[in-house]
Amino acid sequence: MAHIRQINIKPQLKGLTLAGLQKLFLKNGEAKYRAQQVFNWMYNYKVISFDVMENLPKSLRSKLADEYSLVTLEKVNEAASKTSGTKKLLFRTAAGHVIESVIIPEEDRATLCISTQVGCPLDCKFCATGLMGYKMNLTPGEIFDQYMLSQEGFEKPITNIVYMGMGEPLLNYESTLNSLEIFSQEMTRGLA
């Protein structure tokens, strides 16, 4: 499903775990089950607009749209290898930084290499990412959206995710853990 994406500066709802969403909804006087509904829309149906969350009351959809955003990245370019089918995708963050993800297709699976940082502070001599220096850590929502946007228009389902893109995942520990929790949550479907 193709989406028109507009990045803005509202706080991100995308990237919150189920527990984080439940805590937020309870704090705002909403029923806990509403958090499960929003989680399902964001991470399973991969929507980028509160308007399509039809099982939420219009008043709640409007309130969420006024206060939060679901868009974290914009896809700016993609290139595929004619021989291997490997696909490199470039995304722009709301802060204007460019990151990359790579899809590696195989006969029985497709693996997505995702980034956790813009640049990298380690400057390993074998890695080109270190040459650009370190700019920032990615949020769990930006990590998830690499998967969501990479899957759009790719003919096979992405079955595996590896944290081997730009950056060192353990130096962005909390966001990496939160994204892992989102990907592995029982309610999140579509990954092997």
Query: What pLDDT sits at residue 3?
Result: 45
The structure tokens listed for 24 are: 């937020």
Q: Write the pLDDT tens digit of every residue in 111-151.
A: 999 999 999 999 888 888 888 889 999 999 999 999 999 99
Q: Write the pLDDT tens digit of every residue in 43-61.
A: 999 999 999 999 999 999 9
How many other C-beta atoms are found inside a 10 Å radius of the C-beta of residue 164?
A: 14
Look at residue 30 and tell me if it is in a domain. Answer: no
Residue whose structure tokens are 């595996």: 160
Neighbouring residues of 154: CB distance < 8 A, sequence distance ≥ 6 = 87, 103, 110
Measured between alpha carbons, how far is residue 108 from residues 84, 92, 133, 166 in Å?
Answer: 14, 30, 36, 26
**Domain tally, the chain:** 1
Residue whose structure tokens are 């909403």: 30
Look at residue 157 and tell me if it is in a domain. Answer: yes
* Mean pLDDT score of the chain: 91
Neighbouring residues of 191: CB distance < 8 A, sequence distance ≥ 6 = 158, 159, 160, 161, 183
Q: What is the CATH number of the domain that holds 157?
A: 3.20.20.70
What is the DSSP track for 37-75?
A: HHHHHHHTS--S-GGG-TTS-HHHHHHHHHH-B---EEE
Phi, psi dihedrals of residue 69, rounded to the nearest 5°: -125, 155
Q: Identify the band that residue 1 occupies on the pLDDT scale cut at 50, 70 and 90.
A: very low
Reference 99, options 73, 79, 123; nearest CA is 73
Look at residue 106 and tell me if it is in a domain. Answer: yes
Q: Residue 117: which domain range? A: 73-184
Look at residue 33 and tell me if it is in a domain. Answer: no
Query: What pLDDT sits at residue 179?
Result: 95
Residue whose structure tokens are 């206060």: 67
Reference 113, options 86, 133, 138, 92; nearest CA is 86
Measure the CA–CA gap between 105 and 49, rounded to whole angstroms. 30
Look at residue 49 and tell me if it is in a domain. Answer: no
Look at residue 54 and tell me if it is in a domain. Answer: no
Measure the CA–CA gap between 8 and 70, rounded to whole angstroms. 9
Look at residue 38 and tell me if it is in a domain. Answer: no
Look at residue 118 and tell me if it is in a domain. Answer: yes
Has residue 2 got a pLDDT over 50?
A: no
